[in-house]
Amino acid sequence: MSDLLPYLVWEKQEGYLCAQHCLNALLQGEYFTAVDLSDIARELDEAESAALDNTDEDNEGSEAKKSQNMDDTGFFSVQVLVNALKLWNVDIIPYGSEDCVDARIHPENEMAYICNLHEHWFTLRKFGNSPLRWYNLDSVLKGPEWISQTYLGMLLTQLKNDGYSIFVVKGIFPSCQADDYAISHPEANEHKENKKSADTDEEMLQAAIAASLLSLSETNDGQQESSSSSSSRVDSNSQPTATTPPSTLEELRKKRLARFDSNDVNIE
């Protein structure tokens, strides 16, 4: 699905600013900078500090004042991402919660996922509301990577097994070029993917038929060779005739039908 790539907003990893890259990839624009997220983190720290009853002077050391929402590497906590997205009326919900049962059954029906492991954040997002338009927008990749509808569920399961925290994204995203293009070009791409899937299924079916018919052909050849050998012992002047295996599916089908017709005559 490379036709959408020129329209996608994807930021390459810079330092430890994966949270910034994750949010901008999700919203498809330069909506947040490291300074913006730092301001949100400080506001959270101040609110959390004000909520605590710090009457004991022993608790006012450097550890108590250390931010729990960001650090010097550029990492930001999930609360920073939550508050940042609230500015756009977008929410993120833990993948394993009761509110996300449908997401675990049909992950392709959701809008996007945010994933986190230790200090790394990245986004999986759908475009044009098409289950065929999922992309991995991880900033450490070489670029956006298309995800098939089938592989999406497998990827989420693998990430969960690897210890990632996964969040389902709910809300209405700002408009973007990638969505506009995906909406205006759905048929050709869906037809292409459906045709590709159908061609693969047909190839597998044909291979299975060929294997089945070839097995019957080999059985018939063995019976004919045995019959030819018996005839040569009865008539010493007759020569055994070599059997040439059929080379096409059509020949195999004809041979199979001939065998069935022969069996019907013997039964009668």
pLDDT of residue 236: 43
pLDDT of residue 97: 94
Residue whose pair of structure tokens reads 């990839």 in the numeric block = 25
Type of residue at 123 = T
pLDDT of residue 23: 97
pTM listed for this prediction: 0.67
Q: What value does the mean pLDDT take over residues 18-46?
A: 94
Q: Which residue has the higher pLDDT, 96 or 254?
A: 96
Q: What value does the mean pLDDT take over residues 115-135?
A: 94
Residue whose pair of structure tokens reads 């919900």 in the numeric block = 93
pLDDT of residue 207: 57
Q: What value does the mean pLDDT take over residues 148-166?
A: 95
Q: 32 with 17: CB under 8 angstroms?
A: no
Q: How far apart are CA 70 and CA 123, in angstroms?
A: 19
Q: Which residue has the higher pLDDT, 207 or 50?
A: 50
Q: How far apart are CA 252 and CA 213, in angstroms?
A: 6
Does the structure show a pLDDT above 50 at 241?
A: no
Type of residue at 187 = E
Q: Which of 13-17, 174-178, 207-211 has the lowest mean pLDDT?
A: 207-211
Phi, psi values for residue 255, rounded to 5°:
-65, -40
Q: 145 with 198: CB under 8 angstroms?
A: no
Does the structure show a pLDDT above 70 at 2?
A: yes
The tens digit of pLDDT for each residue in 76-108 reads 999 999 999 999 999 999 999 999 999 999 999
The tens digit of pLDDT for each residue in 175-191 reads 999 999 999 987 644 44
pLDDT of residue 92: 96
Does the structure show a pLDDT above 70 at 6?
A: yes
Burial class (CB in 10 A: 0-12, 13-18, 19+), 108: middle
pLDDT of residue 174: 94
Q: Which residues are catalytic?
A: 18, 120, 138
Angle at CA of residue 128, ends 97 and 123, nearest 5°: 45
Cα–Cα distance list, 46 to 36, 144, 181 (Å)? 16, 37, 43
Q: How far apart are CA 107 and CA 129, in angstroms?
A: 13
pLDDT of residue 122: 97
Q: What is the CA radius of gyration of the chain?
A: 32
Q: How far apart are CA 210 and CA 229, in angstroms?
A: 28
Does the structure show a pLDDT above 50 at 163?
A: yes
Does the structure show a pLDDT above 50 at 62?
A: no
| Polymer length of the chain | 268
pLDDT of residue 110: 97
Does the structure show a pLDDT above 60 at 54?
A: no
Angle at CA of residue 173, ends 172 and 178, nearest 5°: 135
pLDDT category at 266 given cuts 50, 70, 90 is very low
